[in-house]
Amino acid sequence: QRPSHLDPNFTGAPTSLHPLSTSTNERTMVKCAVNGFGRIGRLVFRYAFDDPTLELVHVNDLCSLESAAYLVKFDSVHGTWDKEVEVAGDDSFTVDGKPVTFSQKADYTEVDWASMGVEMVMECTGKFLKVKNLSPYFDKCGVKRVVVSAPVKEAEALNVVLGCNHGLLKEEQRLVTNASCTTNCLAPVVKVIKENFGIRHGCITTIHDVTGTQTLVDMPNTKKSDLRRARSGMLNLCPTSTGSATAIVEIYPELKGKLNGLAVRVPVLNGSITDCVFEVERSVTVDEVNEALKKASEEGPLKGILGYETRPLVSTDYINEMRSSVIDAPSTQVIDGTMVKIYAWYDNEAGYSKRMAELCNIVASRYIAGVEEAFKYE
């Protein structure tokens, strides 16, 4: 029997999170919208829909209304959503009878966010990665907070990995990001190794499933600087770049210049694994490393975010994995005492989107609604 966190119908919070007992109708709801209804936007919408603080009122995407309603209901990887989704008129769809309006604007400033009372936007297009491109949300649209589904590497934005640096959240930060999926996988591992053994330097390779930046058949793609992504994603192993290792500096500034890495895109639809190699500051054993990782998965701020697995599982077993990172304990190696190799599994869509929905709850609860957040990390 699959554990609950691997169940495709499981939508509950990880065990380290403590949903409030207060019923929804007793809470102040924050009106939210999703800009960009792709793989991540739709899953964030799913996971945030029943949130006690977030009221999802609008979606903006270039796809058709019919496609938006259809694809949020039916997903080839993550299964059918247990909600009734129907198109309602020319500019809205309903989820279990609740109306959600819909627009098709390439320029988000053309959406009348203010008239809908939208206070927070979940920015999931992956297109706006500079503060100057996100500032109009506040300056022109009247939005109070924006949470971005990609890292923004500028001082004005706070890149957050829950369980690692969420303590840096402050009221004055209107723009926060959920970092990247691979950074969410890597940061918990880095945290444990850094705090227990010290890190001199390291490199990572993410064995990553295909994404929309690749092509189904050989043809030019949108990432013109990376010709390998123009080759069929379903037939090839494609070495490519990843910013996750260098982006870890946004979470742990003291590691600047000490980590780097690459990605290999592989022909599977879901289920990825990160190969982490660190040179640590003192001699360690495999048992010491695994014990530190196991302990971190069971208590403290990483409980429910970092997992620890001893069974011989494979990538499909991690589809719909809600934790950010799961250690493949039998694969841990130590070479010559100080070189440590760790495998960490992750669902780069589901786990990441779940964290983003939780981050949105924290931001909206603390800084807009003025209520206690529904998700807490020790």
Annotated binding-site members for NAD(+) = 39-40, 61, 149, 348
Residues annotated in a binding site? 39-40, 61, 149, 180-182, 211, 242-243, 265, 348
**Amino acid in the structure at residue 337:** G
Residue 47 buriedness (CB in 10 A; 0-12 / 13-18 / 19+): buried
**Amino acid in the structure at residue 341:** K
Alpha carbons 292 and 192: distance in angstroms, whole number: 7
Encode 311-350 in three state secondary structure: CCCCHHHHCCCCCCEEEEHHHCEEECCCEEEEEEEECCCH
Q: Using an 8 Å Cβ cutoff, are 157 and 177 in contact? A: yes
In 3D space, the residue among 169, 204, 209, 174 whose CA is nearest the CA of residue 377 turns out to be 169
Task: Read off φ and ψ for residue 106, nearest 5 degrees.
Answer: -70, -35
CB atoms within 10 A of CB 115: 8
Hey, what are 98's tokens?
């609740």
Q: Respond yes or no: is residue 181 known to be catalytic.
A: yes
Helices marked H in 64-161: 65-73, 131-134, 136-139
Q: Which of 124, 141, 181, 238 is catalytic?
A: 181
Query: Which residue has tokens 């993550």?
Result: 78
Alpha carbons 309 and 292: distance in angstroms, whole number: 13
**Amino acid in the structure at residue 160:** V
| SS3 state of residue 299 | coil
Residues annotated in a binding site for D-glyceraldehyde 3-phosphate? 180-182, 211, 242-243, 265
The CA-atom distances, in angstroms, between 211 and each of 1, 200, 297, 352 are 29, 32, 28, 14
CB atoms within 10 A of CB 225: 6
Burial track 137-158 (b if 16+ CB lie within 10 A, e otherwise): beeebebbbbbbbbbbeeeebb
- Active site residues per annotation: 181
